[in-house]
Every structure is written in C-alpha cells, then in structure tokens.
C-alpha cells in the first residue's frame, strides 16, 4: 500500500469514527488544517522533481476532495442525529389530561362577600353599593352625628383637603352612608345588603386603614327588634355552618340607631384553637362580630321618612373580622400583603362558587 493509501484509510477512519461535531472538527484539523497531514504533504511538493510533483499533486488533490466530502457527509449525519434526539426529548404528549390544580385563587375577602351575599340574598335582600369618597353630610350629619360631636372622633376619619366652600369630603368610615343614599332614592319597603370598602386611620393586628364592611338595612312599617335578632341568628348559623350558634346582644351606642347593640358570638378557645359550637367545657369566650340597632328616628327624618309610619333595623359587620373567625386567619394585615403563598393556603378555587344549596365554603 502506498503512503497516500495508508493516509487515506486512516483519515477516513477518523472522520467516520467522530462521535460528535467537536470530534469531527478535530479530525478535519488533523487532515486539512494548517499543520494537518494532507497540508504537510502539500508543503513537500516544492522539493520534488516536476514529473513526480505533478502526479503527487493530483493524487493529493483527489485525496483532499475525498476527505472534505467525507467530512461534509459525516457532519450532515451527526446533525440529523442531534435533531432527532432533541425532537424525541421535547416530545409533548398532547393526550395527557390538563393539570388538576389551577394556580389562580379567589381571595378570602371576595369569597366572604360572595358567601354573605348568598345568605342575605336568600333572605330577600338586594345588594347595593355606594361611593368610597363621601360627603361629610352622608357619612356623619345625616346619620345623626351632630357637628363637633365627639362621636365623630370615634372613627379616625381620613379627610380630603377642604373645597372652596370650606366643606371636606371624607373616605367613608363605614358603609352606613349607603343607608342614607338608599332611603333618599328608594321608597320603603327596603331590604338591602351593602358590601364595600371603608377607611379609618388605624394599623395593628386587627385593624388596617382600608377594610371591608357589610351594611344591612330593613325599612318597612312593622319591623321590630325581634326581626333583627332572628335575622342575625339565621345569618350566623348559615355563615359559620353550624346549628348551635350562641349570640349575645349587648347594649351599646351608635348615633344612628336606638336602641343599639353589639353582637358577640360564643366561641371556644381550647388548646389555642378557635372553634364555634363546642361550648360548656370551661374554655368558652365571646368575640364581637357586629354592631346593630333600630334605625334612629332622626335618621329617618333626615332621609325624608316619617318615623311614626316607617321603622326598621340596620347592622354593620366587619368582613375581614368574620373571615378571620371562620377561616382561622390570625392577622388581618395579611389580607393585603399580596403573598402568593398566603393565597395558596387561604384562597379558594375559582369554580367553587358559594351557594346555600351547593355549600358555602366546601
Ligand atoms: N357603622 C357602624 C360601625 O362602623 C356599625 C353599625 C351599622 C352599627 C349599622 C349599627 C347599625 O361601627
């Protein structure tokens, strides 16, 4: 075998044995690079006799072309194999079922608004809303808070800058101004539930500057305190999803109701766990959940109604507060921290719409 035949065999073997593009390039450099073996033979042509140089030059060119062709062919084969491997690895089985746990969650505040609206909706209340930025008159004066009366200080009000006429708008401190708006717009009988944002300058474990309330208002010609009690007891049974709810109506004061009461719910705090409906084992306690009362005659008058004809009751309940009690959420500030881990834990599945028949919070 001539020297070139041996070289050809060795170079072709190296090209065809290259397992990847990197090894193939090394084989190319070894054959055709500046210091490659074929190039080395080319360099020796200059020192040869003309006849021999001609023959050797032709042979070297043929060999060079053959090796370059072999490299191209090997390269194409390796690239095809790499593509096949990638396609096999990235294969998607489109027949697999969709992921069973959706990432999105319903916020406990939205869930609570849905639950409470479903319960009062079932009792014949319609849902009404009002503006977050209120006049001082709707938020206080019409609700029987006299000008300069200390009761206005009870509510840590956020005031807006005074207008040209000296009056100041407020961020509503409660949902009660929607009582006034509704009585001014709508003739009795009235039966409304008002969910909405409210604002007070306060910040600790159980208070945030923005929070949510539910206002209830019933006005007709015969509603009395007994109806108020029955309505709230029925609500608590449905909302907390237990039959043996115990409520304590404790005399209290609000300028816009007379008589007024705050309602406490009996709970059990055994072993640091808060539960409703496990009473009588010495770990009973009371937790305040709402304020209520019969609508004050002055409020009815301010809204154009005759107190000798019309009467009714109102209540106001903290949304975060009842959500915290029902779902065991320890810190009210966490509602507004936008922490996805908190949402994954306390949030609700989007398609579980609360209804009385289908279940409120399962
Ligand atoms: N508005 C009262 C509050 O925010 C609650 C309330 C509403 C009390 C209706 C009585 C009647 O504290």
Indicate whether 98 pLDDT > 90.
Answer: no
The pLDDT, as a whole number, for residue 100 is 61
Question: Which atom of ligand 1 is nearest to 295's Cα?
Answer: 11
Owner of token pair 């929070």: 211
pLDDT recorded at residue 177: 98
For atom 2 of ligand 1, which residue has the closest CA? 316
234, exposed or middle or buried, with CB in 10 Å at 0-12, 13-18, 19+? middle
**What gap in Å lies between CA 227 and CA 101, rounded to an integer?**
43
CA distances from 156 to 171, 186, 199, 202 (A): 11, 30, 9, 7
Nearest to 71 by CA among 23, 38, 37, 2: 23
Q: How far apart are CA 280 and CA 57, in angstroms?
A: 110
Region 253-260 average pLDDT:
96
Q: Where are the alpha helices (DSSP H) in the chain?
A: 3-17, 21-32, 37-44, 50-89, 108-122, 136-139, 177-185, 225-240, 297-302, 319-327, 340-346
Dist. CA 218–CA 124, nearest whole Å: 10
Q: What is the pLDDT of residues 167-207, one digit of tens each?
A: 899 999 999 999 999 999 999 999 999 999 999 988 887 78
- At residue 316, φ and ψ (nearest 5 deg) are -140, 130
Instruction: Convert the pLDDT of each residue in 299-310 to its tens digit.
Output: 999 999 999 999
Q: Are 350 and 104 in contact (CB under 8 A)?
A: yes
Phi, psi of 179 (to 5 degrees): -55, -50
- Tell me the pLDDT band of 356, cut-offs 50, 70 and 90: confident
- Pocket-forming residues, ligand 1, beta carbon under 6 Å: 174, 176, 215, 254, 257, 291-293, 314-316
Q: How far apart are the first and last CA of the chain?
A: 87
Q: What is the pTM of this model?
A: 0.70
Residues 6+ away with beta carbon under 8 Å from 277: 240, 242, 243, 244, 245, 268
Longest dimension (CA), the chain: 134
Ligand 1: which atom is nearest the Cα of residue 290? 5
* H or E stretch at 143: none
Q: Which atom of ligand 1 is nearest to the CA of 175?
A: 1
Note whether 216 and 234 are within 8 A (CB). Answer: no
Q: Compute the distance between CA of residue 215 and CA of residue 300 in angstroms, rounded to an integer.
A: 16
CA 259 to ligand 1 centroid distance, Å: 12
- Ligand 1: residue of 145, 171, 175, 176 to mutate (most ligand atoms within 8 A of CB) is 176
Query: Cα of 174 to ligand 1 centre, how many Å?
Result: 7
Q: Which atom of ligand 1 lies closest to the CA of 216? A: 9
> What digits encode the pLDDT tens for the residues 202-246?
888 778 899 999 999 999 999 999 999 999 999 999 999 888 888
Task: State the Cα–Cα distance between residues 112 and 329, nearest whole angstrom.
Answer: 13
Residue 258 annotated in ligand binding: yes
The model's pLDDT over 66-93, given as tens digits with 9 standing for 90+, comes to 999 999 999 999 999 989 999 999 998 8
The answer to whether residues 293 and 261 touch, using CB atoms and an 8 Å cutoff, is yes
Region 151-179: mean pLDDT is: 89
Cα–Cα distance measured from residue 175 to residue 224, given in angstroms and rounded to the nearest whole number: 22
CB of 296 closer than 8 Å to CB of 320: no
How many Å lie between the centroid of ligand 1 and the Cα of residue 290? 7
The candidate with the shortest Cα–Cα distance to 284, out of 270, 296, 304, is 270
């Amino acid at each position: 075998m001539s020297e070139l035949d041996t070289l050809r065999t060795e170079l072709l073997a190296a090209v065809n044995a290259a397992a990847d593009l990197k090894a193939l390039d090394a084989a190319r450099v070894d054959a055709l690079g500046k210091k490659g073996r074929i190039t080395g033979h080319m360099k020796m042509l200059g020192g040869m006799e003309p006849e021999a140089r001609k023959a050797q030059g032709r042979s070297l060119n043929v060999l060079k072309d053959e090796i370059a062709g072999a490299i191209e062919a090997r390269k194409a084969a390796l690239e095809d194999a790499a593509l096949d491997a990638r396609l096999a690895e990235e294969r998607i089985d489109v027949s697999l079922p969709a992921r069973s746990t959706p990432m999105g969650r319903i916020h406990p505040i939205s869930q609570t608004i849905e639950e409470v609206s479903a319960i009062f909706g079932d009792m014949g209340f319609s849902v009404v809303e009002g503006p977050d930025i209120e006049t001082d008159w709707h938020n206080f004066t019409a609700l029987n808070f006299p000008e300069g009366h200390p009761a206005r200080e009870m509510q840590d009000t956020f005031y807006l800058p005074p207008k040209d006429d000296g009056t100041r708008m407020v961020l509503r401190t409660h949902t009660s101004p929607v009582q006034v708006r509704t009585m001014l717009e709508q003739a009795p009988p009235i039966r409304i539930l008002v969910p909405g944002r409210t604002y007070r300058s306060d910040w600790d474990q159980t208070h945030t500057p923005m929070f949510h309330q539910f206002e209830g208002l019933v006005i007709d010609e015969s509603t009395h305190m007994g109806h108020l009690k029955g309505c709230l007891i029925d609500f608590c049974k449905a909302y907390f999803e237990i039959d043996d709810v115990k409520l304590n109506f404790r005399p209290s004061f609000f300028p816009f109701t007379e008589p007024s009461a705050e309602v406490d719910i009996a709970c059990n705090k055994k072993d640091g766990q808060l539960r409703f409906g496990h009473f009588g084992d010495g770990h009973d306690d009371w937790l305040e959940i709402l304020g209520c009362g019969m609508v004050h005659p002055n409020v009815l008058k301010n809204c154009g109604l005759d107190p000798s004809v019309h009467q009714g009751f109102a209540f106001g309940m903290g949304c975060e507060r009842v959500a915290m009690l029902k779902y065991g959420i320890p810190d009210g500030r966490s509602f507004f921290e936008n922490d996805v881990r908190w949402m994954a834990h306390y949030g609700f599945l989007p398609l579980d719409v609360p209804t009385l028949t289908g279940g409120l919070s399962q």
